[in-house]
Amino acid sequence: MKAEEIREWDNSEIEARAGELKEELFRLRFRSATMQLENPRLINNVRRDIARLHTIMRERELAEQRR
């Protein structure tokens, strides 16, 4: 998921996707704890996607405050 792609979404889509990714991160952590996770890099990728979504939301908040 690229930042340019996310910027085209509206706030509700970003929030919904962040919620989905948080659930996925929980499932990945659980699978990791039970040694059933084949690719540990998936956890890092999901965490970065969540951070990317939060960053874009924060950019929008700051842009609104400047107006």
The C-alpha atoms of residue 36 and residue 55 are separated, in whole angstroms, by 31
Helical spans, DSSP H, in the chain: 3-7, 11-33, 41-66
> Which contacts qualify for 19-25: CB closer than 8 Å, 24 or more apart?
21/46, 21/49, 21/50, 21/53, 22/50, 25/50
Domain boundaries, position 41: 3-66
Check whether 1 has a pLDDT greater than 90. Answer: no
Instruction: Read off the pLDDT of each residue in 45-58 and give the average, rounded to a whole number.
Output: 97
Q: Is 0.85 topped by the overall pTM?
A: yes
Mean residue pLDDT of the chain comes to 95
17 pLDDT above the threshold of 90: yes
Split at pLDDT 50, 70, 90, the class of 62 is very high
What CA–CA distance (Å, rounded) separates 63 from 42? 32
What CATH number has the domain bearing residue 43? Answer: 1.10.287.310
The count of structural domains within the chain is 1
